[in-house]
């Protein structure tokens, strides 16, 4: 349990030491011996209290450091805590080395201290390496987070741009549908206009035939009519034209003759002119809309090219991210291996420390047993001294009673000599035992200090190992999060690929439809030009007809047989 719980182990050791001190005091009091080392016991008790307070302070500091480390890892302040811990470890190591240099220690203890220093140096080196790896991972994590934020912003911008392009495409579709409807309507009107032109051609042909007939009749008919009849007919015609609504373009022609046909022809010509003007306006509007669509199409082409360039750039960046993710995976695997190696080394160090603690506790027990044996020998020597003193007193009494003075004096001298020898021997043994006791007490103090420092270092190493495990878990979780984000980026990239392919196909279709519209526009412009030419020809024919009609009127007015011609026209119609 002491391996996993340092506080319980230290408290158990302190309790056992207190019990041992209490037991030794009770033994010395029962035997009636003087407490030779009472002051040392008091000192030891005070040193135990100091050791307990030091151990508690070390544990509190380690707990506070652990708590601060956890809070700092949450608040991204690992650098300061790690720097403080490193400085504190360096100062403790320096103090330990100064204490070890100031005290005279045995060769075995020196070898143990050297091994411990070497282990501490190796642990510090490994700790620095782990710290550097942690900083590198943190910097790489920050870089990856920055890249992810940048990619998310670009993804949002692309999404917004895609939505805008979709709206533009919908508007273009609506405009295309309206243009198709207008083109269909224009085609229908064009067919109707062709039919009207054919009707007008037939009318012109018929009018030309009628004019030729009238000209032939005028040539054949003689000029035998009276001038008075001609004047009466002209007056009747004038009165008829004043009473009726006749168009200005055709002059004074009788409605029973060519007047209605020419009026209908003029009305059709005016309607066709209006239609031509309306079609010109519609074609101008259509050409303006076509120019807008062409400019929008060019902008869409530019945007598609930009999107393709961005897509290629995003593909390259995704490849770079995949490479970075692979590198991060490799670094994670290496860190996991290093953490496993560190765990194994920490376990080995813990086992070595446990063996050392066990050996030191065994040495302590041996020294304590030797101390007890020395104490028992001292008590036996005291008993022997008392027995010899009693025997000496008895012998003195007996010698005073029985022996003569010379023999008694010789015996007394001999007893004094023996007593002085015993006294010297007792004092020498007492000095030896006191020196041994002092040495044992110093060794015990040093062992206790070493135990406290070793337990504190062990607890610190445990805390550091736990912190490293937590950091590894966090890095592992961050790597999993990065992998998930990379997968989501890949999925979004695939969706963007599909959307780009769809948009490119749709843009190609729009380009084809716009080309078709341009071709139809050219066809319509050609048809309009042809219609304008036909209208010009029709106008030219109408002008010719009006000119001919004017000449005919003049000829009819000049000729006397006008009445006969009119009567023949009435018979003909």
Integer Cα distance of 23 and 27 in angstroms: 6
Integer Cα distance of 66 and 88 in angstroms: 14
- Least confident range from 50-64, 118-132, 500-514: namely 50-64
Summarize the confidence of residues 291-311 as an average pLDDT. 79
- Which residue in 264, 239, 214, 284 sits closest to 552, CA to CA? 214
Integer Cα distance of 312 and 265 in angstroms: 67
541 neighbors 204 (Cβ within 8 angstroms)? yes
Integer Cα distance of 82 and 131 in angstroms: 8
pLDDT, position 396: 73
- Give, for 247, the enclosing helix (H) or strand (E): none
pLDDT, position 96: 65
Integer Cα distance of 163 and 166 in angstroms: 5
Burial of 472 (0-12, 13-18, 19+ CB in 10 A): buried
pLDDT, position 52: 44
pLDDT, position 528: 77
Summarize the confidence of residues 398-403 as an average pLDDT. 64
Two structure tokens written together for 98: 């100064």
pLDDT above 70 coverage of the chain, percent:
68
Distance of CA 393 to CAs 224, 251, 355, 401, 415, Å? 214, 189, 56, 12, 10
pLDDT band at 246 (very low <50, low <70, confident <90, very high): very low
pLDDT band at 78 (very low <50, low <70, confident <90, very high): low
pTM comes to 0.26
pLDDT band at 235 (very low <50, low <70, confident <90, very high): low
pLDDT, position 151: 76
pLDDT at 265 over 70: no
Helices then strands, counting H and E runs in the chain, come out as 8, 0
pLDDT, position 31: 40
pLDDT, position 226: 43
pLDDT at 67 over 80: no
Q: Which tens digit of pLDDT belongs to each residue from 406-434? A: 766 777 788 778 878 877 887 888 788 77
DSSP tag of 248: G
467 neighbors 129 (Cβ within 8 angstroms)? no
Residues in the chain: 573
**Residue bearing tokens 């993710």:** 325
Burial of 70 (0-12, 13-18, 19+ CB in 10 A): middle
pLDDT band at 171 (very low <50, low <70, confident <90, very high): confident
DSSP tag of 223: S
Mean pLDDT of the chain: 69
pLDDT at 225 over 70: no
pLDDT, position 429: 80
Q: What is the Cα 518 distance to its own chain's centre?
A: 48
Q: Which tens digit of pLDDT belongs to each residue from 20-57? A: 444 444 444 444 333 334 444 444 444 444 444 544 45
pLDDT, position 556: 64
Integer Cα distance of 553 and 557 in angstroms: 6
pLDDT at 158 over 70: yes
Summarize the confidence of residues 359-383 as an average pLDDT. 81
- DSSP state letters, 3-42: TT-HHHHHHHHHHHHHHHHHHHHHHHHHHT---TTHHHHH
Q: Which tens digit of pLDDT belongs to each residue from 82-98? A: 667 667 766 766 676 66
Summarize the confidence of residues 502-521 as an average pLDDT. 78
Integer Cα distance of 524 and 284 in angstroms: 12
Two structure tokens written together for 5: 């719980």
Query: What's the alpha-carbon Rg for the chain, to the nearest Å?
Result: 64
Instruction: Name which residue leads in pLDDT, 120 or 233.
Output: 120
pLDDT band at 548 (very low <50, low <70, confident <90, very high): confident
Two structure tokens written together for 439: 């040495």
């Amino acid at each position: 349990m002491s391996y996993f719980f340092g506080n319980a182990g230290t408290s158990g050791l302190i309790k056992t030491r207190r019990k041992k001190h209490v037991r030794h005091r009770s033994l010395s009091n029962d035997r009636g011996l003087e407490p030779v080392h009472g002051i040392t016991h008091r000192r030891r008790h005070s040193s135990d209290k100091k050791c307990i307070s030091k151990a508690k302070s070390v544990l509190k500091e380690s707990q506070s450091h652990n708590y601060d480390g956890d809070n700092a890892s949450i608040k991204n302040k690992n650098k300061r805590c790690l720097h403080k811990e490193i400085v504190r470890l360096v100062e403790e190591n320096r103090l330990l080395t100064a204490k070890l240099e100031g005290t005279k220690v045995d060769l075995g203890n020196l070898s143990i201290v050297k091994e411990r220093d070497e282990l501490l140096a190796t642990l510090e080196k490994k700790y620095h390496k782990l710290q550097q790896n942690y900083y590198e991972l943190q910097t790489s994590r920050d870089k990856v987070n920055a890249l992810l934020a940048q990619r998310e912003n670009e993804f949002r911008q692309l999404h917004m741009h895609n939505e805008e392009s979709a709206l533009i495409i919908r508007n273009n579709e609506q405009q295309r549908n309206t243009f198709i409807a207008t083109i269909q309507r224009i085609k229908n009107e064009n067919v109707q206009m062709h039919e009207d032109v054919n009707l007008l051609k037939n009318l012109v042909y018929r009018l030309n035939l009628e004019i030729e007939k009238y000209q032939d009749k005028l040539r054949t008919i003689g000029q035998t009519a009276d001038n008075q009849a001609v004047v009466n007919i002209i007056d009747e015609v004038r009165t008829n034209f004043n009473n009726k609504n006749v168009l200005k373009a055709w002059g004074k022609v009788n409605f029973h003759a060519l007047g209605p046909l020419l009026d209908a022809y003029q009305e059709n010509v005016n309607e066709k002119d209006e239609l031509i003007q309306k079609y010109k306006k519609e074609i101008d509007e259509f050409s303006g809309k076509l120019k807008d669509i062409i400019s929008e199409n060019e902008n869409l082409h530019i945007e598609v090219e930009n999107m393709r360039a961005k897509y290629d750039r995003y593909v390259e960046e995704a490849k770079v991210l995949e490479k970075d993710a692979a590198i991060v995976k490799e670094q994670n695997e290496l860190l996991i291996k290093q953490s496993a190696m560190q765990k194994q080394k920490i376990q080995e160090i813990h086992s070595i420390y446990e063996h050392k603690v066990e050996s030191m506790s065994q040495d302590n027990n041996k020294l304590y047993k030797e101390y007890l044996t020395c104490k028992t020998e001292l008590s036996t020597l005291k008993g022997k001294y008392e027995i010899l003193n009693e025997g000496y007193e008895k012998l003195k009494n007996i010698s005073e009673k029985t022996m003569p003075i010379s023999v008694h004096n010789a015996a007394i001298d001999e007893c004094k000599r023996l007593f002085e020898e015993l006294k010297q021997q007792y004092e020498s043994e007492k000095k030896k035992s006191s020196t041994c006791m002092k040495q044992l007490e110093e060794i015990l103090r040093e062992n206790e200090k070493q135990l406290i420092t070793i337990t504190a270092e062990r607890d610190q190493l445990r805390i550091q190992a736990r912190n490293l495990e937590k950091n590894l878990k966090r890095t592992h979780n961050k790597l999993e999060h990065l992998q998930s984000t990379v997968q989501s980026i890949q999925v979004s990239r695939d969706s963007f690929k599909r959307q780009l392919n769809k948009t490119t196909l749709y843009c190609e279709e729009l380009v084809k439809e716009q080309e078709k519209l341009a071709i139809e526009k050219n066809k319509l412009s050609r048809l309009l030009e042809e219609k304008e030419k036909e209208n010009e020809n029709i106008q030219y024919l109408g002008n010719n007809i009006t000119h001919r009609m004017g000449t005919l009127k003049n000829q009819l007015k000049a000729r006397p047989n006008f009445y006969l011609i009119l009567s023949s026209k009435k018979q003909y119609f």
